[in-house]
Amino acid sequence: MIQRLQSVYLSLTTLLSLLFLNGSIINFIDKSGSVFKITFSWIVKETAGKGLEVVEKLIPLSIVIILIPLISLISIFFYRNRKIQLRLTLIVITSIIGFIILSGFYSMKVITGFGAEIVPGYKMVIPVLMLIFSFLAYRGIKKDDQLVKSYDRLR
């Protein structure tokens, strides 16, 4: 199970996606000095004098953030059934693309609605890394499947 390289890639995808369960995903700052944060389940406005204020709940983003590590972890344990593992990995890749699209949508909503600017951070690169690792896992699973099929033809 772990000796397969695609299991390592799926494990890395799981570990990287767990980083989004706490803290902020993307930070913004507006001209008045207020900080907006897109977190696991809401958009929060942090003002110096007022503290934290919830601007909007993000239920679709929360669902996708929970699905990515869950499905990629489940996919690791289907190492004996490559067809199911391929489908689950495709679902993970689709979920990561959905996460990137939803993050972009909510970012544009904060930028246009509040006139804020993005503050660069390391968590902005993590979805791209997750997508790369998931794609490499898919490619490895597909290569294993083709190898097994070629051995079946030789028998």
For the chain, how many structural domains are there in total? 1
pLDDT digits 0-9 by tens, 106-146: 999 999 998 899 999 899 999 999 999 999 999 999 998 88
Q: Supply the pTM of this predicted model.
A: 0.90
Q: Does pLDDT of 2 surpass 70?
A: no
Task: Note whether residue 152 is domain-resident.
Answer: no
Q: Is residue 29 part of a domain?
A: yes
Q: Is 14 exposed, middle or buried (0-12, 13-18, 19+ CB in 10 A)?
A: buried
The answer to whether position 52 is within a domain reads yes
